[in-house]
Structures are given as structure tokens and as C-alpha cells.
Amino acid sequence: MQNQNIALGASLIILSELALLATGMIIKSMSAEVPTEQIVFIRNLIGLFILVPWLIRKGISRLHTKHIGLHLARGLVGLTAMVCLFYSWGHMPLAQASLLKQTSPIFIPIFAFFWIKESIGIKTIIAIFIGFAGVILIISPTGDDAQFSIVMIIALAGAMLAGMAKVIIRKMSVTETPGRIVFYFALTGTIISAVPAMLAWVSLSWVQFGSLVAIAGFSTIAQLSISKAYSHAPAGQLGPYTYTSVAFAAFFGWMIWDEVLNYTTLIGILIIVLSGVLAMTDRRISRIKAEQKQIVFDK
């Protein structure tokens, strides 16, 4: 059975969210000039190169795994979530994009319950319904820009897939190291995203290339932090801590891009944060017997 360390897991989640917010700010600043497909491909390619020293130091044997199917599933789901996330960062206000990304904790307990049998406390169930109410407020069309609402749906789809990816990480963390999980994700993402990136390719300036290197660096830090975090505590318990980046996103969006949130979005934010706080108060820790986990992995 895995040791549970909620404090360490929460700290790693917060670090991951701040690193992802940094990537969002960079993407937003260059989205008008560089296609999302190219950003995703280069982010994964550079992330793969960043992990080469780790691979050399640890040895090729560190890549040995009996669960290549889970790595492929995590790669496909995570890559699709990344495309949705990067697109939303480039086409909507930073705070709203970040907030919709933070709705992934609403989906995490659901996926965790049906797939890896993590129990859900009554407060978490209530929090899920409250969170969905907040989401409805945020993505409801206002009548002035239907396309904008479609971008919100894309952002929400990315959040749902991100929640699924985190549960897959939780399932893999029983036997897989964080470095191995991130390496296979970068490898899968690089291979799959290569073709669409080539079709949309544009020439890059040195500044743009440097920005993409920074995106890859921050994203890799985020991936390593997430992978390590979910080896310390259940996915359903750590999910609510991802809300910490919402305030930072709203602040930087206002300071740099002069973005102001309307009252409907503000109410939605409050409702979603309330759902996160409610979920955090549910201290019911899910535990799965070691032999049950082994049976799942041997299938």
C-alpha cells in the first residue's frame, strides 16, 4: 500500500499549477503568430530532450515497463487535453481559461471512483454538483459571441481529459516512477503531434523559439510535479488544490492584458472555488488493498 502524504502531494500540485500558468502566459503572448499544433509539438519535443540527461544518468533500464498500454492511454488523453488547453489559453482571457482548466477536479473523483475504485465522500459528491453549477454559469452563451462559447467548451473538454489523465497517473504510480511516466508522455506526444505540426508549420524567430523552450521547461516541471504528487495521495483528495492558480491567473490577466471578468464569471468562480473547499473538507481517504492493485495491473 502506498504511503499517504497529503501535504507533500498538495505542495507538488501547487507547484505544477504555477508552472502551467507560466506556460499559459507565454502561449497567450505568442498565439497570434504561432499555430497551436506547432506549439504542442515543439513543447513535447523539447521536453523529450530535457529528459535525456535523466535517461543517461538512470540508464535505459529505467524505461522498462509492463504497462505500456497505460502509458499510451495517458499519452493520448494527456496530449488531447494539452491541445485543448493551449488553444483556450490563446483564444480566451487568461483567468477564464485557467479557471475552466481548474474544473478537472470535478471530474477526477468520478473517474477515480469508476476506474480505480477510490471511494467518494458525501461532501465530495455535493461538491461535484456545485462545481458543475459554476461551470454552467461560466460557459453559458451570452448572445454576443457564439464562437467564444465554443472555445469555452473546448477548454472544458480539455479539463475533463486532464482529470482522466491524472487518474491514469494515479493508477500507474503504484509501479511506475514519475520520470518514466513523463518520458513516455513526452515520447508519445512528440510522435503523435508531429504530423499536424508539420501541416501548420511557420518560421520562428529566435525570441519565439526561446519562448517555446521556456514552455517546454515549465511544462516538464508541471508534469514531473503532477506525477510525483499523485504517488503521495489519492487523486480525489489532491484535485481541489489546483484552484490555487485561479487568483494568480486573474491578477496577471488584469495586469498584463487588462482583462476584466464579468459578474457571471465571478459568480461562477466563487461557486467552483466553494466546491473545491467543500471537497477539501472531506477527509475520507480512499484506500485500496495492495493485492487488489496487483490484480488490476496483472490483467
Coil/strand/helix, residue 11: helix
- Give CA–CA dist 163/239, Å, rounded: 9
Mean of pLDDT values over 180-203? 90
pLDDT of residue 64: 79
Domain boundaries, the chain: 6-298
The secondary structure of residue 63, as a DSSP letter, is G
Tens digit of pLDDT for each residue in 26-68? 998 888 889 999 999 998 898 888 888 877 887 777 777 877 8
- Whether pTM > 0.75 for this model: the answer is no
268 confidence band (pLDDT: 50, 70, 90)? confident
Q: Is the pLDDT of residue 299 over 60?
A: no
pLDDT of residue 4: 66
Q: Is the pLDDT of residue 276 over 70?
A: no
The secondary structure of residue 82, as a DSSP letter, is H
- Give CA–CA dist 75/218, Å, rounded: 18
- DSSP structure string for 214-236: HHHHHHHHHHHHHHHHTTTS-HH
Q: Is the pLDDT of residue 2 over 90?
A: no
- Give CA–CA dist 227/235, Å, rounded: 11
Q: Is the pLDDT of residue 277 over 70?
A: no
- Give CA–CA dist 89/173, Å, rounded: 29
- Give CA–CA dist 167/287, Å, rounded: 15
Mean of pLDDT values over 87-114? 79
